[in-house]
Amino acid sequence: MNAVYTPSEVADVFKLKESEVLDELESGKLTGFKIAGKWRILEKTVNQLLELPSKATASKNIDVSELIAGETFEYRYPADTERYENVLKGQATFDSRKFSIMLGITHKKTYERDRNHLMVFIDGYPSTDFVKSDGGTWVTLVPGSHNPKGNLRPGDSIPGGFAIFTLKPMTELFKEKGVPNAMVATFDNTDRSAMIQYALLKARYKKRI
């Protein structure tokens, strides 16, 4: 049988304030449940968090070279062709393996509006698509913890490695109809290195690299 923790006990384990743990529970970033109106967290959830690599560890495993400007290009998908502008290119090393990296921005209608999309290409293939949110941050869907082909939903346990990123419910960032009830990783407008790290982790998690 799994032991259960109170928010205060989890706060003690991770050297946080109880209010910070409660915020994580309410936002869906930390998995828990309510009984008699009080939050409780399973021991296995705490253990999974303790086993996750830290941000410093992840940064040591992934090294991104300085990015330089590249030329506008087109990529042909099965359904259509996308033109990518504001191109950046470089290299990244993940666990001693080198990858060529390109980033390009395109525009298309998403959730009832024309939005910017940024695609990270790994070794010439489209890997992770980021879309510009209403608030101006770049966001991308997080894969499911039990089904990498699905999406992480609020309240689900976070897959190993992805907890180092800032995760939010997609419905908080997009108010239009048709927005999935899923969690997204969010990135500042200029944080291209973190976006590349995320794309490599996601590709590894989905066993594409």
* Residues near 88 by beta carbon (within 8 Å), at least 6 away in sequence: 67, 68, 69, 70, 102, 103, 104, 192
Burial class (CB in 10 A: 0-12, 13-18, 19+), 70: middle
In order along the chain (209 residues), what is the average pLDDT of each group of 10 residues? 82 84 84 90 80 49 88 94 95 92 94 92 96 92 85 85 87 87 90 92 89
Query: CB of 130 within 8 A of CB of 170?
Result: no
φ/ψ of residue 174, rounded to 5: -130, 125
What pLDDT, on a 0 to 100 scale, did the predictor assign at position 96?
86
What pLDDT, on a 0 to 100 scale, did the predictor assign at position 87?
96
φ/ψ of residue 151, rounded to 5: -110, 150
Residue type, 168: K
Please tell me the pTM assigned to this model: 0.72
φ/ψ of residue 116, rounded to 5: -80, 140
